[in-house]
Amino acid sequence: MTAAPQQLVFDLAHRQALGAEDFLVSSSNAAAVELIDSWPAWAYRACLVVGPAGSGKSHLANVWQLKSSAALFTAGKLSDADVAALPEGSALVVEDIDRGIADEQALFHLLNRVRESGLNVLMTSRIAAGDLQFRVPDLRSRLRALPMVELDTPDEALLRAVLVKLFCDRQLNVDPAVIGYLCLRMERSMEAAARVVAAIDRLALATHRKVTRPLAAEALATLTEPRE
């Protein structure tokens, strides 16, 4: 008998992500979620969230951006003029500091302004600050001094719950066995879950078939290897 996805129950915390889609919490992301939820009562006004691709860094950064009314920049586009234009006490998200920083001096000045002007800054990276290399003296040590939380690759409980939610969003009734089948064979990331569910939905619509293990297998076969 096929069970509707809303009948599946997982022992996971769950709360509305401030206007974004529901964000599910498990041991793989609990520390980072706690950091975001604790703002503005941060002990230090700048923090770094570190995790592999697909672990949910951008999602959490978006949650904090909505909560704090922060401006958003990628590290590859942040300039000294952008930093200078920030009002005192404002908030800023700087994503992907591991993928190249357009102006290292601008990031150094930003961290100085955190101390001087009460700015609030959330940065994301796939790599811990201590493993990054910089040209500007003291930038690495300044970043290493920041509070850091790590996101792990989604664990199985989280991945199952995310798949169920994504199927529910598309009003698809999916047997728990299909969820288990997918978890064993797909990349463990939020982005991969979205791609897999979208592919399954497209194939089910195109072939007028229910979502079964054979259909899920066909959909998985159509997906290319994930890219960074």
* For the chain, percent of residues with pLDDT exceeding 70: 88
Alpha-carbon distance of 33 to 11, in angstroms, equals 16
**What SS3 state is found at 103?**
coil
> Given this model, what pLDDT does residue 22 score?
62
Tokens found for residue 6: 């809303």
- Summarised one tens digit per residue, pLDDT across range 15-36 is 444 444 566 777 888 888 899 8
Checking if the pLDDT of 1 tops 50, the result is no
**Residue for token pair 């811990």:** 128
Let me know: does 188 contact 160? Beta carbons within 8 Å.
no
pLDDT band at 125 (very low <50, low <70, confident <90, very high): very high
Q: Residue 3 — pLDDT band, cuts 50, 70, 90?
A: very low
The correct CATH number of 29-150 out of 3.30.460.10, 1.20.1050.10, 3.40.50.300, 1.10.3720.10 is 3.40.50.300
**3-state DSSP assignment of residue 105:** helix
pLDDT at position 103 is: 93
Question: Confidence band (pLDDT; 50, 70, 90) for 224?
Answer: low
In this prediction, residue 115 has a pLDDT band, given cuts at 50, 70 and 90, of confident
Distance between CA atoms of 136 and 153, rounded to whole angstroms? 31
What pLDDT, on the 0 to 100 scale, is given for residue 154? 84
- Global pTM reads 0.74
Is residue 7 scored above 70 in pLDDT? no
Domain range summary for the chain, segments of one domain joined by +: 29-150, 154-222
Measured in degrees and rounded to the nearest 5, phi and psi for residue 219 equal -65, -40
User: Is-contact 80 103, C-beta < 8 A?
Assistant: yes
Average pLDDT, the chain: 85
Out of 2.60.40.420, 3.40.50.150, 3.30.70.580, 1.10.8.60, the CATH code matching 154-222 is 1.10.8.60
What local confidence, expressed as pLDDT, does residue 174 receive? 93
Please give the residue that has the higher pLDDT: either 83 or 6.
83
- Mean pLDDT computed over 96-100: 93
